[in-house]
Amino acid sequence: MCTSIIEVVRAEGMAKRGDQWFPLSQTVVAYDHARHAPLGDVITLDFVNGELGAGARAGVELTLETAKELRAALDRAIAAADYEEAEVRGKGGVPRLVRAA
Amino acid sequence: MSFYRGMTCENVTIKGDKGTPITAYVARPAGPGPFPGVVLIHHLPGWSELYIETTRRFAHHGYLAICANLYEREGGGSDGNPDDVAAKVRAEGGIADSQMVGDTEAAVKWMRAQPDCNGKVGLIGSCSGGRHAFIYACQKHDVDAVVEQWGGGVVMAASELNDKKPKAPIDMTAGLSCPLLGIFGNDDRAPSPEQVNQHEAELKKQGKTYEFHRYDGAGHGFFYWHRPLYRAEQCMDAWGKIWAFFGKHLAK
């Protein structure tokens, strides 16, 4: 399948390729045939920095099923992180849980 | 000549679209020739080892073959890792159809300038390269036969058109200038069997010379021996169709 299913979002952080960490500028999410994984169509995640060249890339190919599990894990972790942020900063947390950071 | 022909391979630089130099891999059969020429258009995964190997396969069968790196501009040169370069191109929504036509025209001209080419040139591509091969054969009239392997995006909705892909290839069918061989897997979703039907209906409507072969039990990319998509029986049958097609139309 030659899909045009692709999403590109801003990324702040770093990724590791080999022994080198590099700063990120974008995350590219796609659904297309796998290039390396011994699978058919896959969700691909490319963490990249275009300014550093095409080699500044940490790529992942996941089955659709495990990509959904990753999404769920991200949702859980982000929800918990949002709660932590709210608690520490007192922004939107349950009042009885808010304390001075 | 021994049963297995020798060959020499090298990278050459050609003047691509707008005169930009790009690298192309050439496989030249041993012997004086003249040889029919084949220009390969690589797929979305890029100027990959599979395409370099396939270029040599054509030389092994007696064709002078060339495969240009259509992603060289995007990858910072010919030494860029094709896998990373292809990921970058994917993120950018592919390359412009017009740039592909300019680069492929350079490869065709290179071929026609070779003293050991017999003056006949075939074009072949798979995946995005299949779409590109069809576009080229509709826009330019300097190839003698074209093979389109599961070209995704020949049929396009208006919403899919953009600056890089301003016109759906199916709407270029009237310009097709040479015989077309189409190879498709019936389990493919891009192109789907319905899109292949539309493609064929337009070829019929325009009175074009073509033959389509559709394989059951095969999906997208069933020639790719290194992928789980590979289907040996269907692939080898289709290779037979390619040799017969090019044998007929590129002989002199």
pTM here is 0.90
Question: What pairs with residue B68 in β-bridges?
Answer: B24
pLDDT at position A95 is: 54
Q: What is the mean pLDDT of residues B19-41?
A: 97
pLDDT exceeds cutoff 70 at B174? yes
Instruction: Note the ipTM here.
Output: 0.74
pLDDT tens digit sequence for B184-230: 999 999 999 999 999 999 999 999 999 999 999 999 999 999 889 99
Question: What pairs with residue A50 in β-bridges?
Answer: none
Put simply, whether B85 touches A (Cβ < 8 Å) is: yes
In chain B, % of residues over pLDDT 70: 99
pLDDT at position B1 is: 60
pLDDT at position A88 is: 63
- In this complex, the residue of B90, B160, B189 whose CB is nearest that of residue A6 is B90
pLDDT exceeds cutoff 50 at A31? yes
Q: Which residues have C-beta within 8 Å of that of residue A69, sequence separation ≥ 6? A: none
- In this complex, the residue of B81, B153, B228 whose CB is nearest that of residue A38 is B228
Beta strands in chain A (DSSP E): 5-10, 14-17, 20-23, 26-33, 41-48, 57-62
Q: What's the full length of chain B, in residues?
A: 252
pLDDT at position A98 is: 47
B32 touches B6 (CB < 8 A):
no
In chain B, % of residues over pLDDT 90: 88
Confidence band, pLDDT 50/70/90 cuts, at residue A101 = very low
pLDDT tens digit sequence for A87-99: 766 555 555 554 4
Closest chain A residue by Cα to residue B89: A54
Put simply, whether A2 touches B (Cβ < 8 Å) is: yes
Put simply, whether B159 touches A (Cβ < 8 Å) is: no
Instruction: Report the gap between the CA of B76 and the closest CA in chain A (Å).
Output: 7
Between A and B, how many residue pairs show a Cβ–Cβ distance under 8 A?
Answer: 77
pLDDT tens digit sequence for A52-73: 999 999 999 999 999 999 999 9
Run of H or E including B39: strand B35-41
Tokens of B36: 């029919």
For chain A positions 3-42, those within 8 Å of chain B (CB to CB) are 3-4, 6, 8, 26, 28, 30, 32-36, 38-40
